[in-house]
Amino acid sequence: MDSVGVAAAAPDAGPGPAWQSKCPWGAPSTTSISCSLADVMSEQLAKELQLEEENAAFPEVVAAAEGPFITGENIDTSSDLMLAQMLQMEFDREYDAQLRREEKKINGDSKVSISFENYRKVHPYDSDSSEDEVDWQDTRHDPYRADKPTTTPRRGFIGKGKDITTKHDEVVCGRKNTARMENFAPEFQVGDGIGMDLKLSNQVFNALKQHAYSEERRSARLHEKKEHSTAEKAVDPKTRLLLYKMVNSGMLETITGCISTGKESVVFHAYGGNATEDKVIPPECAIKVFKTTLNEFKNRDKYIKDDYRFKDRFSKLNPRKIIRMWAEKEMHNLTRMQNAGIPCPQVVILKKHVLVMSFIGQDQVPAPKLKDVTLSSEDMKKAYYQILNMMQQLYRECNLVHADLSEYNMLWHDGKVWLIDVSQSVDPTHPHGLEFLFRDCRNVSQFFQKGGVAEALNERELFNAVSGLNITADNEVDFQAEIEALEKMNEDHVQNHGKKLSTFSSDGDPPIYDE
């Protein structure tokens, strides 16, 4: 520690005693430094200096041009938790490598081999998730249908004859309840109860459980607040760790940088890594991170609140899960589109609120949006017919209305149009589905009419061409009124019959799920 502060603070009392001139460090310098001991010792100052240094070393804004964002070596290590987790991962990886070596040594060329698989620590896309976390594995099936009721177990008892013990047995139940306290969050003090032969009644257990959960939520809330404040620019530490894991597992090679920061998501570019047994990773990937700051999503309520596919789930979920649901929804919608052969990004993996898909573009340069590209009149016409075709496919084969279709969400790549950004897409029978479709049609018509495509249908014609409906109103106001009347009719039908049956399709074919 610099002693200047102490020296400067010493009283200036004329020539000092003899020992002072002999002082091996020489006489105190008289340069006045306006910095007190308190300042020098100040933790605040130290922190500020460190921060300054760090900022100089790791500029906060990540751009593709500034070199890789996450490579496995250079990751932000400002959070202790993150550092610990990363070290643990590194340790686990080394442990597994050692295990593999031993496995190989033991097995040699033997035909019968022993597997250490179960002792491994790192599994390819292992997650540290608790049960409430949505992962690819949990959501492979399209969840936007009503949940099937879970069947009750057939046997609710153990033993035979008069020794039968049912799950309602008070002692068994009490012990079980005590053991179940282990599932509470680690911060929750349950004392020695688990070790003792304590029997908790259901009532006491339930009260405890309630309390444990609300405590957990409260601490999570406090935690989140802290994290979000530092996460405005790029991504929060938890997301960083998720991204780091993807690199660490070898699925991604490098995350090069950010290609877009929107209100609701941040999109990164990455080079794909090694293929796994069941998955080939594209050479270039786009990573869409749905923002976990909740404000932006509030105004999206109307897309899901009224969506019958969500109704059951929406009410049960906390905001964090709803955001994951957007990512999940985008994944399922992209998959449907892929199956119908519509040009769109291919899903690679979904991890919580992070969706990895194939990159539309080349060499880190994303394909331009339709609004940013100048097409020849021939290409413009080609693009128009392609979009008309895609809108029909989307509606009829995928049973979807894009709901945010415009020149901003269509990319021009490889001589054709690619559709992106489908997290908000809805079922045509969504209470506002037809209104969304009409809005999409208006955007598309206007864009191509302005772009000089003489063949472009007007918005009402386009709407009919896509939906197969035959709304005859010749002005916008009446047309919209008819759309709303149709939606209302469908809703009433749902209310009365409790079942979705489309009244939209003119050929009487209800848009049912094709999966």
- Footprint of Mn ion (CB under 5 A): 409, 421
Q: Distance between CA atoms of 240 and 223, rounded to whole angstroms?
A: 16
Of 248 and 423, nearer to Mn ion (C-beta) is 423
Closest CA to 274 of 242, 251, 248: 251
- Per-position x/- string for 339-378, each x denoting binding to ligand ADP as judged by CB under 6 A, each - no binding: ------x-----------x-xxx----x--x---------
Of the candidate residues 177, 406, 409, 429, the single one contacting ligand ADP (CB under 6 A): 409
Q: Which listed option, Mn ion, ligand ADP, none, makes contact with residue 369 (CB within 5 to 8 Å by class)? A: ligand ADP
Chain position whose Cβ is nearest to Mn ion: 421
What is the nearest approach in angstroms of ligand ADP to the Cβ of residue 281?
14
> Any contact of residue 292 with ligand ADP (CB under 6 A)?
no
Q: Which listed option, ligand ADP, Mn ion, none, makes contact with residue 286 (CB within 5 to 8 Å by class)? A: ligand ADP
The C-alpha angle with vertex 160 and arms to 157 and 166, in degrees rounded to 5, equals 20
CA atoms 261, 264, 266, 272: torsion sign: negative
List residues bridging with 252 in a β-sheet: 272
Of 208 and 287, nearer to ligand ADP (C-beta) is 287
What are the φ and ψ backbone dihedral angles of 270, each rounded to 5 degrees?
-145, 155
Of the candidate residues 238, 288, 324, 381, the single one contacting ligand ADP (CB under 6 A): 288
DSSP 394-453: HHHTS--B-SS-STTSEEEETTEEEE---TT-B-TTSTTHHHHHHHHHHHHHHHHHHTT-
What is the nearest approach in angstroms of ligand ADP to the Cβ of residue 256?
12
Output Rg (C-alpha) for the chain, integer angstroms: 31
Of 348 and 403, nearer to Mn ion (C-beta) is 403
> Any contact of residue 420 with ligand ADP (CB under 6 A)?
yes
Question: Is residue 372 among the annotated active site residues?
Answer: no
Of the candidate residues 262, 283, 319, 452, the single one contacting ligand ADP (CB under 6 A): 262
Q: In the numeric block, which tokens belong to residue 514?
A: 């094709």
8 A C-beta contact, residue 238 and residue 230: no
What is the nearest approach in angstroms of ligand ADP to the Cβ of residue 345?
4
Q: Distance between CA atoms of 456 and 265, rounded to whole angstroms?
A: 32
Of the candidate residues 8, 62, 235, 286, the single one contacting ligand ADP (CB under 6 A): 286
Of 411 and 462, nearer to ligand ADP (C-beta) is 411
What is the nearest approach in angstroms of ligand ADP to the Cβ of residue 327?
11
What is the nearest approach in angstroms of ligand ADP to the Cβ of residue 310?
19
Q: Helix, strand, coil: what percent of the chain each, to 5?
A: 45, 10, 45
Of the candidate residues 177, 256, 265, 467, the single one contacting ligand ADP (CB under 6 A): 265
Of 174 and 366, nearer to Mn ion (C-beta) is 366
Q: Calculate the alpha carbon distances from 38 to 2, 42, 147, 243, 428 in Å.
A: 12, 6, 64, 41, 67
- 372 backbone φψ class: left, alpha, beta (φ>0; ψ -120 to 50): alpha
Q: Distance between CA atoms of 121 and 315, rounded to whole angstroms?
A: 36
Q: Distance between CA atoms of 64 and 107, rounded to whole angstroms?
A: 46
Which candidate in 76, 404, 427, 440 is catalytic?
A: 404
Chain position whose Cβ is nearest to ligand ADP: 262
SS3 290: strand
Of 256 and 409, nearer to ligand ADP (C-beta) is 409
Of 248 and 424, nearer to ligand ADP (C-beta) is 424
Residues classed as catalytic = 404
Residues that bind ligand ADP (CB under 6 A): 259-260, 262, 264-265, 267, 286, 288, 345, 357, 359-361, 366, 369, 409, 420-421
